[in-house]
Chain A
Amino acid sequence: MPNTFALKLKPNHLFWVKLIIHIAALAPLCLTFCQAFTDNLGGDPVTALLHFTGLGAFKLLLLSLLVTPLARVLKQGLLIRVRRLIGLYSFTYAFAHFASYILFDLQLDWSLLLSEIIKRPYITVGLIAWLILLALTLTSTKKAQRYLGKKWQSLHNWVYLAVMLVSVHFLWSVKSAILEPLIYMLITLLLLLYRRDKLKRIFKKRLNNTQKIQK
């Protein structure tokens, strides 16, 4: 059988792949914010911004989790090297999402922010996911990776919890149109299912650790 992917990704190709990712992630973000600032984003630019940045962060997070399976299936090991970039853009969108919520929706009403975080499960869940992504972003450098050693991998395994929480956050936030969030949840579960062996190992390790502590 002829190899459909005869083209093997080489290090000098990566530059172009990354450039495309930069443009594909940044251009819509800039354009949407420009439209919002000039009041050309529909009747309520604030809601439009929240939906765009939130969904954008989720899509990019799913895409970052798709890199590993894709690299394996296509036998393009080098593809792994774009994973961090996509993950960082996911947090960029998540940051814009949370910032838009605080600045444009709540308008710096900090007491309202606090009570919403405490009282509303979907916002609590969203914030936890955001904090995980923040931690992953801050430890995304090679330096941090070296410094943390073995701990780095277990810290970055939290991404699986984060993506689940984001999926729940989306489902809980809609008034009644649940088809779209359900499709996203299905994609999330498929990506996690692909990693079921790894997830089992993580769980077993945690379970063992807690049992050791209890003993």
Chain B
Amino acid sequence: MLIKVPKTSAAKENQITDESVYHRRRDIIKSMGFVGASSLLSSTSAQASFFGNDDKSFKTQALDYAPDAKQVSTKLTPEEKIITHNNFYEFGTGKSDPVENAQQFKVNPWRLSVEGLAENPFSLDYDDLFKQFPLEERIYRLRCVEAWSMVVPWIGFSLAALIKKAKPLSSAKYVAFETLYDPKQMPGQKNRFAGGGIDYPYVEGLRIDEAVHPLTLLSVGLYGKTLPPQNGAPIRLVVPWKYGFKSIKSITRIRLTDKRPPTSWNRLAPNEYGFYANVNPSVDHPRWSQASERRISGASLFSRNRIDTQMFNGYEEVAPLYDGMNLRKNF
């Protein structure tokens, strides 16, 4: 259920109205039995749905959650964009590959184990992901290292809550994450070239103080529903002040450790992708500028949606985590 908190300023209300129009449109499309408007034009899945066989698309479910109290005034990226433009190399390296190849992905049963240097290691099954911790909505900006960005209404819970439950030992300095390894379901893991040369399973890591920062989210849904597979179902990380590749998808393992864990993109190209990967407009990617970004908004091609990239993606409150660190060196 999506509850919009009434805004004190009328202007802000206007800025999100677009989305409600959008929701109506999706309902109409759904009632017609199509996957979604855009997939009608995408190559392979289009035909299947056009001839009335819609059962192949992944089914998401509505979630109960507390809406984001401090709703941002920025316009949300339309849901259709968020669920069709994805980097999830396990399902192919093209932006539309995940939505085309992930619809059969099995998320239930699922097992997320929390282990390592902790007093109380535990694991969560599929239902636990939605029941163990109260769910809340967080509207975050997502900045991809490829210099595009979105505004996404995530639903989930703080990673801090999960880590607290595990009771980490004082020796735990880092948190390591691992995506499901299942080449049968993930074509990118089966074939080295289809998966873009990444050594699977995909792994990521955070320093423990980054991991327990209140902004760090474990997301189980977006736009009021459970996550579609292409967005990292059933559970994914969201670290809004870091480049998108840090926000690892379809997590099966969270491990507390005393050593800095390896991270997939850093392993593949250490000169291009660092461990920290904080959004930083003054440190360019070796092959393109990070000073500005294109906000994917669903507006026309001619709309001026190139905006300046902000330090820490605008989440200045994380700056103290990096006091005294050379962020150019630790990119």
Question: Which residues of A are at the interface with B, using a C-beta cutoff of 8 A?
Answer: 35-37, 39-49, 103-107, 109, 112, 115-116, 119-122, 172-173, 175-179
Least CB distance, A183 to chain B, in whole angstroms:
10
Complex contacts, B268 vs chain A, CB 8 Å? 176
User: By the criterion CB–CB under 8 Å, are B95 and A107 in contact?
Assistant: no
Q: B301 within 8 Å of A by Cβ?
A: yes
* Extra inter-chain contacts (9) besides given A47-B95, A119-B284, CB under 8 Å: A40-B38, A42-B84, A45-B301, A105-B294, A112-B289, A116-B289, A120-B288, A176-B197, A177-B89
Q: Verify A43–B196 contact, CB threshold 8 A.
A: no
B292 at the interface (CB under 8 A from A): yes
Our pick among B38, B148, B304, B306 for the contact of A42 (Cβ within 8 Å) is B38
Instruction: Tell whether, in the assembled complex, residue B301 and residue A46 are in contact, meaning their CB atoms are under 8 Å apart.
Output: yes
Choice from A43, A106, A109, A121 contacting B84 with Cβ under 8 Å: A43
Which of chain B's residues have a CB closer than 8 A to the CB of A40?
37-38, 41
Name the residue on B nearest A49 (C-beta): B301
Are A122 and B287 in contact, with the CB atoms below 8 A? yes
Q: Would you list the 5 A-B pairs with minimal beta carbon distance, nearest first?
A: A43-B85, A177-B93, A179-B193, A177-B196, A176-B196
* Docked complex: B284-329 residues within 8 A CB-CB of A: 284, 287-289, 291-292, 294, 296, 298, 300-302, 304-306
Q: Is the CB of A177 within 8 A of B289?
A: no
Contact A106–B42 (Cβ < 8 Å): no
**Pair B300/A39 contact, Cβ less than 8 Å:** yes
B residues within 8 A CB of A122?
A: 287
A38 smallest CB distance to B (angstroms): 9
If A36-B301, A112-B291 touch, whether A43 touches B197 (CB-CB below 8 Å) is: no
| A178 CA to B193 CA, complexed, in Å | 8
Do B146 and A43 touch across chains, with their CB atoms under 8 A apart? no
Closest to A173 in B: B287
Q: Assuming the A-B contacts A39-B298, A112-B292, A176-B93, are A44 and B85 also in contact, with contact meaning beta carbons closer than 8 angstroms in the complex? A: yes
Within the complex, the shortest CB–CB distance from A54 to chain B, in Å, comes to 14
What are 28 A-B pairs at a CB distance below 8 A? A36-B301, A37-B301, A39-B300, A40-B37, A42-B95, A43-B82, A43-B95, A43-B96, A44-B85, A46-B294, A47-B148, A49-B301, A103-B301, A104-B301, A104-B302, A105-B306, A106-B306, A107-B306, A109-B306, A112-B289, A112-B292, A115-B289, A120-B288, A175-B93, A175-B196, A177-B93, A177-B196, A177-B197
Indicate if B3 sits at the interface (CB-CB under 8 A). Answer: no
State how many angstroms separate the Cβ of A210 from the closest Cβ of chain B.
33
Question: Known contacts being A106-B306, A112-B291, A177-B196, is A37 close to B41, with CB within 8 Å?
Answer: no
Q: Which of A45, A112, A176 contacts B198 (CB 8 A)?
A: A176
Contacts of A44 in B (CB 8 A): 81, 85, 95, 148, 294, 296
Q: How far is the CB of A55 from chain B (nearest CB, A)?
A: 12
Q: Is the CB of B294 within 8 A of A37?
A: no
C-alpha spacing A35/B85, complex, angstroms: 16
Q: Which residue of A lies closest to B39 (CB)?
A: A42
B269 within 8 A of A: yes
